[in-house]
Amino acid sequence: MALNSPASATANAAGDQTIVFDVETQKLADEVGGWNHIREMRMAVGVTYHVLTGQYKAYGEEQARDLIAALRGADLIVGYNVLRFDYEVLRAYTTDPLTDVPTVDMLAELYRCLGWRPSLDNVASATLGVGKSADGVQAVHWFRAGHIARVIEYCRHDVEITWRLFEHGRQHCCVKCWDRSRELITVPVRW
């Protein structure tokens, strides 16, 4: 299981304070010297989905600490590439390493199974029949053009399909993706 906390976190997966989240950035990796400088990409927006209430909430950069506090208060965090990317973006706003927050990172689980990292769009389109509405590069351009509502909607859509993928994996113990040869494969998951 792609958790950075005790295995008991899975028991809480649809529990009291499960939060699904995603962040979008202000800058691209090549603008900050590559993927080793994720913190310098800065948060444009973050969106959370609180499973218990069914509520989405958007956060701007000035509310990054509020987002971190919300994540800290969760029983379980669900995301896609959150351990390597989203948490690293947030570390620009805190000294809290966030390493003890109970987290299911679906990409980390898929990487463990496959040995390569399929995109969220790949897995969502293969499993759910619905893809992403844009990509992170487009979100950066929208942010720079002042179209914050579009960035929030894009991020919210990613959070929604992340939650749907998580639920599919829990219910069916698998997700699907297109492999490097464009063959549809089924990947067993344990989240």
Q: At 94, which CATH number?
A: 3.30.420.10
Q: Is residue 82 part of a domain?
A: yes
Q: Is residue 69 part of a domain?
A: yes
pLDDT in tens, 46-80: 999 999 999 999 999 999 999 999 999 999 999 99
Q: Count of domains in the chain? A: 1
Q: Is residue 91 part of a domain?
A: yes
Q: Is residue 31 part of a domain?
A: yes
Q: How far apart are CA 24 and CA 174, in angstroms?
A: 27
Q: Which domain holds residue 95?
A: 14-188
Q: Is residue 2 part of a domain?
A: no
pLDDT band at 134 (very low <50, low <70, confident <90, very high): confident
Q: Is residue 5 part of a domain?
A: no
This prediction has a pTM of 0.88
Residue-level pLDDT at 66: 98
Q: How far apart are CA 126 and CA 124, in angstroms?
A: 6
pLDDT in tens, 172-191: 999 999 998 999 999 999 99
Q: Is residue 6 part of a domain?
A: no
Q: Is residue 133 part of a domain?
A: yes
Q: Count of H helices and E strands in the chain?
A: 6, 7
